[in-house]
Structure 1
Amino acid sequence: MANLVSIENVDMRYGGAAGTLAVSGLNLTVAKGEFAAVVGPSGCGKSTLMKLVTGLHIPQKGNVIVAEKQVTEPVSIVGMAFQNPTMLPWRTTLENILLPLEIVEKHRKRLRTHKKEYIEKAERLLEIVGLKGFGSKFPWQLSGGMQQRANLCRALIHEPELLMLDEPFGALDAFTREELWCVIRDLHAAQGVTIILVTHDLREAVFLADKIFVMSSRPGRVLAEHQVPFARPRDINLTYETAFNDMVHKLHAEIANARVAA
């Protein structure tokens, strides 16, 4: 399977030559259609990795390659979802979801002439995530979990090849978080989009991912790479099984050791 993302011996330093070295000798690959998770201690460079892949930062050393092109500017094939949905309060849920189409160049002109088609696509996404009929609601009329569901729709509306998730469920209660794990599991299965998830929640990583990268303390590099052995589709009851929790504990121990070694 071809790689959609390759990071090759990358160094990234903030603040000039004497500044903070965020990642050093960073190497990882994510295949097209794969679901990868990145875990590690706080400050290990997980957010830097996100910015490198999306072209928001260009490394001082090494190569970042996305869709067979070296990254030298912001990457247009990426959708992103963060912990804070940051929906515009004066726009309806549907209007918030359509917002990327007003920004992404290849959709901007077409939106004017094919708006009905895009609205239908947005409404299909809302139905998939359990928000059918909520397109006319404003963000303040939605719960936090509902806003995050809408946020996922917004990240997917322009049909990105790569979806980047940065702690997207961290602010939610445990039950809502597990519901959204199942939503993103089903979206991945239905759309085949490549996903990179940055998370502190090891259960989340093991439940969702095909492959998990464990990063070191700063400067960040990949200490270990694990293939998740559990067959898809995964039921939430998997999280109570011994083999699942054994893998979570193994990851926890690796991260604890990385913190001590810092």
Structure 2
Amino acid sequence: MALVSIENVDMRYGGPEGTLAVSGLDLSIARRDFTAVVGPSGCGKSTLMKLVTGLHIPQKGAVVVAGHEVTKPVSIVGMAFQNPTMLPWRTTLDNVLLPLEIVEKHRHRLRKHKDEYVAQAEALLETVGLKGFGSKYPWQLSGGMQQRANLCRALIHEPELLMLDEPFGALDAFTREELWCVIRDLHASRDVTIVLVTHDLRESVFLADRVVVMSARPGRVVAEHPVPFERPRDLEIMYRPEFNEMVQALHGEIANARELA
């Protein structure tokens, strides 16, 4: 059974006469899959994220996550956005621990088992290259380091589903590619399903098992492409002709998708 199922969904902002963001949206995502979602600006990619996480409820159709129709925010989801939005008055470690104060199954255990959770957070920080930075405040970290900590915060409550909305868009190219490798390794080592929304087609092909292309607004899925390259993938793959051919084909599809509505 799919972990995520979106069935004939319409989502409109601003009331009955407002903007129709997605229409007839259908998408199924299997457990442990890594799906990248691409498309022209304004095609509803971020709306899709909010529907899956329960931040928006559709006016038509159904969103089902882990066998339950979504009617409220979903607790099995971790999220990371382009802006890390770390709380400046909390240390990096305390920022990473923040979801544990909110997610019900962990909230009741946090005080009694604080040492256990701190050890998990420090292990995550080490995994993403931030060993020893737990005591630093956000303003003492670079943008790339903040985004690494943001990924740890999204993973600390052991979500089944990780939603990434343009998480690397504000970073320089070198840091972005470093974090691609971090995400690649996290997906390989953890029992987690990942959905990545991105404008970067190289990013989508490097990271994902499948790339989903959406139409112009109102968004719907117009194509799905399995990524044929074996894992694990190294950055050198981006110099291979077949990699660039897939990127260029996606670029052409998105150019055509601008005309679809």
* TM band (smaller chain): over 0.9
C-alpha displacement at 1:109, in angstroms? 1.4
Question: Which residue is 2:70 aligned to?
Answer: 71
Which amino acid letter does the alignment assign opposite residue 34 of structure 1? D
Question: Which residue is 2:212 aligned to?
Answer: 213
1:160-197 deviation digits (Å, cap 9, x = unpaired) = 00000000000000000000000000000000200000
What is the alpha-carbon root mean square deviation over aligned residues?
A: 0.7
1:78-110 deviation digits (Å, cap 9, x = unpaired) = 000000001111111000000000111111110
1:209-245 deviation digits (Å, cap 9, x = unpaired) = 0011100000000010000000000001001110100
TM-score (norm 2): 0.99
User: For structure 2, which runs of at least 5 residues remain unmatched after alignment?
Assistant: none
Question: Which residue is 1:232 aligned to?
Answer: 231
User: For structure 1, which runs of at least 5 residues remain unmatched after alignment?
Assistant: none
Question: Which residue is 2:2 aligned to?
Answer: 3
Question: Which residue is 2:105 aligned to?
Answer: 106
Task: Give the Cα–Cα distance (whole angstroms) in 2 for the partners of residues 212 and 224 of structure 1.
Answer: 8
C-alpha displacement at 1:19, in angstroms? 0.9
2:86 maps to 1:84 = no
Question: Which residue is 1:96 aligned to?
Answer: 95
Q: Percent identity?
A: 80
SS of the equivalent of 2:222 reads strand
SS of the equivalent of 1:3 reads coil
SS of the equivalent of 1:260 reads coil
Question: Which residue is 2:154 aligned to?
Answer: 155
Question: Which residue is 1:144 aligned to?
Answer: 143
4+ runs deviating over 4 angstroms: none
C-alpha displacement at 1:261, in angstroms? 4.0
SS of the equivalent of 2:85 reads coil
Task: Give the Cα–Cα distance (whole angstroms) in 2 for the partners of residues 35 and 261 of structure 1.
Answer: 26
SS of the equivalent of 1:41 reads coil
Which amino acid letter does the alignment assign opposite residue 159 of structure 2? P
Question: Which residue is 1:29 aligned to?
Answer: 28
Task: Give the Cα–Cα distance (whole angstroms) in 1 for the partners of residues 101 and 260 of structure 2.
Answer: 47
C-alpha displacement at 1:259, in angstroms? 1.3
Question: Which residue is 2:120 aligned to?
Answer: 121
SS of the equivalent of 2:259 reads helix
Question: Which residue is 1:248 aligned to?
Answer: 247
C-alpha displacement at 1:258, in angstroms? 1.2
Which amino acid letter does the alignment assign opposite residue 249 of structure 1? Q
Task: Give the Cα–Cα distance (whole angstroms) in 1 for the partners of residues 80 and 125 of structure 2.
Answer: 15
Which amino acid letter does the alignment assign opposite residue 157 of structure 1? I
SS of the equivalent of 1:163 reads strand
1:18-66 deviation digits (Å, cap 9, x = unpaired) = 1111100100111000000000000000010001000111111111000
TM-score (norm 1): 0.98
Task: Give the Cα–Cα distance (whole angstroms) in 2 for the partners of residues 141 and 203 of structure 1.
Answer: 30
Task: Give the Cα–Cα distance (whole angstroms) in 2 for the partners of residues 158 and 139 of structure 1.
Answer: 21
Question: Which residue is 1:195 aligned to?
Answer: 194
